[in-house]
Amino acid sequence: MSDFRNIIFDFGNVLFHLDLGATERRLRQLLGDGQFEAARAKLQAADVFNRYETGALSTELFVDALRRSAEPMLTEAEVLEAWNAIFIEMPAEYFDLLERLRERYRLFLLSNINELHARWIDQYMAEKHQRSDFRQRYFDAVYYSHEVGLRKPDTRIYTYVLHHAGLLPQETVFIDDLEVNVRAAEALGIRGIVKPPHVDTAQLMRAFLNF
- pLDDT at residue number 211: 73
- Is residue 150 within 8 A of residue 111, CB to CB? The reply is no
- pLDDT at residue number 54: 98
Domain ranges of the chain: 6-16+90-209, 22-86
- pLDDT at residue number 71: 86
Produce one character per residue of 2-18: b if its CB has 16 or more CB atoms within 10 Å, e if not.
eebebbbbbbbbbbbeb
**Distance of alpha carbon 122 from alpha carbon 20, whole angstroms:** 19
User: For helices 179-186 and 155-165, what crossing angle results, to 10°?
Assistant: 60
**Distance of alpha carbon 169 from alpha carbon 7, whole angstroms:** 10
- Is residue 53 within 8 A of residue 112, CB to CB? The reply is yes
- pLDDT at residue number 1: 46
Q: Which fold has domain 6-16+90-209?
A: Rossmann fold (3.40.50)
- pLDDT at residue number 3: 86
- pLDDT at residue number 2: 55
* Positions of the chain with pLDDT lower than 50, given as ranges: 1
